[in-house]
Structures are given as structure tokens and as C-alpha cells.
């Protein structure tokens, strides 16, 4: 599976380490290298990663100051389900219960903390239980403007 990674200036150093780690472990990684500098804007990186995820049905990883801004920007893109995660359990639940195709992380987490989070996100199977699929369908209806209570 193709994995796309993007980071603003705050997540740049961590992104570089993560790309190296993932490539060493056989992952197919694309560095979405929108120019990163002190005055960059995280929505640019979120957009580039998410467009690639949609085109390839791959996964995305976003890094910024808190992960919150990236997550908000990513979730404005139809077809993206981005979760701001802080630990392994959240990474598992985001994908297994909510069919997340992108995660957003804070650069304040250490490399040692991020590695297992990303590993879990990559290997976790998407949602398959009826109750989760029903809820994901409702999210899609909200996104499409067809949701009704």
C-alpha cells in the first residue's frame, strides 16, 4: 500500500526520520514535499497528501504542531477520514472503527512514540463490523449532504 507523508516546518525533522524508518521496513513511501519553511501553511501539506491518498486509495500521515490543524484541513476533503491521534489505541480505533485513511500527529511526540502509532495504523484492518460500517455510511451521507435522522 502506498503511504503519503506531509509535514509543515514543525514536523519536518520527524517526517524525515519517519520516512527513513518506513522505507527501511519495506513501505512504499512518498514524501509530499511542498516547500517547508518557517512561514508555511499546514493546509497546503494536508491537501497534497490527501489528494494523493484519494487518487491511489493509499494512506496518509500528517505532522504539524499539534496535529489538530492538519486534521481539520484534511477532513474538508471529500473522501478523507483523518483522525488526530496521540497513541497506539487511537490509531487502531481510527482505522478499525472509523475507516480512517489519514492520521495527523503532533511533532511534540517523540520518534519513539510515533513509530508504534504509525505501525499500528498501517497494519490495522479497516472497519468490517456492521455497527462500524453503518456509522461510517452515516458519516459519508453527512459529507454528501444526504443524511437524514
Active site residues: 64, 97
CA-based nearest residue to 124, from 112, 136, 116: 116
CB 80 within 8 A of CB 88: no
CB 103 within 8 A of CB 94: yes
Residues with Cβ within 8 Å of residue 19, at least 6 apart in sequence:
5, 29, 31
Which secondary structure element, helix H or strand E, spans residue 5, and what is its range? strand 2-7
Total residues belonging to the chain: 149
Instruction: Give how far Cα 115 sits from Cα of 7, 48, 54, 104, Å.
Output: 16, 22, 24, 13
Amino acid at each position: 500500500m502506498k503511504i503519503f507523508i506531509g509535514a509543515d516546518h514543525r514536523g519536518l525533522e520527524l517526517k524525515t526520520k519517519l520516512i527513513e524508518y518506513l522505507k527501511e521496513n519495506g513501505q512504499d513511501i512518498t514524501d509530499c514535499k511542498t516547500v517547508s519553511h518557517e512561514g508555511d501553511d499546514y493546509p497546503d501539506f494536508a491537501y497534497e497528501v490527501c489528494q494523493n491518498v484519494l487518487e491511489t486509495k493509499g494512506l496518509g500521515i500528517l505532522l504539524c504542531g499539534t496535529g489538530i490543524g492538519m486534521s481539520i484541513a484534511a477532513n474538508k476533503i471529500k473522501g478523507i477520514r483523518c483522525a488526530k491521534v496521540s497513541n497506539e489505541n487511537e490509531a487502531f480505533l481510527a482505522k478499525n472503527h472509523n475507516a480512517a485513511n489519514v492520521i495527523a500527529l503532533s511533532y511534540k511526540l517523540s520518534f519513539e512514540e510515533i513509530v508504534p502509532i504509525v505501525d499500528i495504523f498501517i497494519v490495522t484492518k479497516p472497519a468490517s463490523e456492521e455497527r462500524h460500517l453503518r456509522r461510517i455510511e452515516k458519516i459519508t451521507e453527512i459529507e454528501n449532504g444526504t443524511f437524514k435522522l
